[in-house]
Amino acid sequence: MNYDEHMMAGILTYPFAVLVVYFIKICLTLPIELSIPAMAWGYAFYVLGSDLPDMDHTYSVIHRGIKPIVSVAMGIYVFVNLPYQYLKTPYMWANLSIGWGTAAIAAFITWHVFSKFMPRHRGMVHTTLFAGIYGFLAFSVAGQCLNLAFYEALFIGAASFMGYMLHLVLDGRNGSRINF
């Protein structure tokens, strides 16, 4: 399947995913919270997950979208945590220039390293293990960065996992097997 097909599948199947989580919540009496913010963020993470496994394909839309985000995030991380904090020049413009110059170099290196370390297409990234990792990362982001309650974040993690698994199932329909 291609990018549009995976994304449309994610967009259109999310109501089913919410229904599945709701029934799991009821049947297992789990305290998952299906609040409006949790379901809205869950939708975003679910749809992203529906194409995320293709980040291992150099020419995929998702790879080309994630690569600059990861590179810029690394540059920001370097600026915030490394040289800028320790520079003692008397000129703020020099501190900022050195700090952002170092950050830009880190982002540049990350840009070029990103694709080099990405595993082969439909390899390690196309596994249920990575679906679980994505679900856990989404859960963590929801709780730590979005300041959602634990049980709301739990819903987002579950939705993220299901969106990622949707991609693997759809690829499986095209002759690829799901790797565990």
pLDDT in tens, the chain (180 residues): 788 899 999 999 999 999 999 999 999 999 999 999 999 999 999 999 999 988 888 778 888 888 899 999 999 999 888 755 667 778 878 888 888 899 999 999 999 998 777 766 666 788 999 999 999 999 999 999 999 999 999 999 999 999 999 999 998 865 555 555
Measured in whole angstroms, the distance separating CA 22 from the mean position of its chain's CA atoms is 23
> What pLDDT, on a 0 to 100 scale, did the predictor assign at position 171?
86
Do 84 and 173 sit in the same domain of this protein? no
Long-range Cβ pairs for the range 172-177 (8 Å, 24+): 174/1, 176/122, 176/126
Q: Which residues, including other chains, have CB under 8 Å from residue 84's CB and lie 6 or more apart?
A: 95, 96, 98, 99, 100, 102
Do 51 and 131 sit in the same domain of this protein? yes
Cα gap 117→126, rounded to integer Å: 15
Do 48 and 128 sit in the same domain of this protein? yes
> What pLDDT, on a 0 to 100 scale, did the predictor assign at position 18?
97
Do 113 and 134 sit in the same domain of this protein? no
> What pLDDT, on a 0 to 100 scale, did the predictor assign at position 38?
97
Do 3 and 43 sit in the same domain of this protein? yes
User: Torsion over CA of 64, 75, 136 and 63, rounded to 10 degrees?
Assistant: 10
Q: Select from 95, 117, 139 the last residue of a domain.
A: 117
Give the pTM. Answer: 0.77
Q: Select from 98, 117, 136 the last residue of a domain.
A: 117
Do 36 and 73 sit in the same domain of this protein? no
> What pLDDT, on a 0 to 100 scale, did the predictor assign at position 62?
81
Do 144 and 167 sit in the same domain of this protein? yes
Q: How many domains, in total, are found in the chain? A: 2
Question: How would you classify residue 58: left for phi > 0, otherwise alpha for psi between -120 and 50, otherwise beta?
Answer: alpha
> What pLDDT, on a 0 to 100 scale, did the predictor assign at position 63?
81
Do 129 and 155 sit in the same domain of this protein? yes
**Could you list the residue range(s) of the whole structural domain that residue 22 is in?**
1-58+124-180
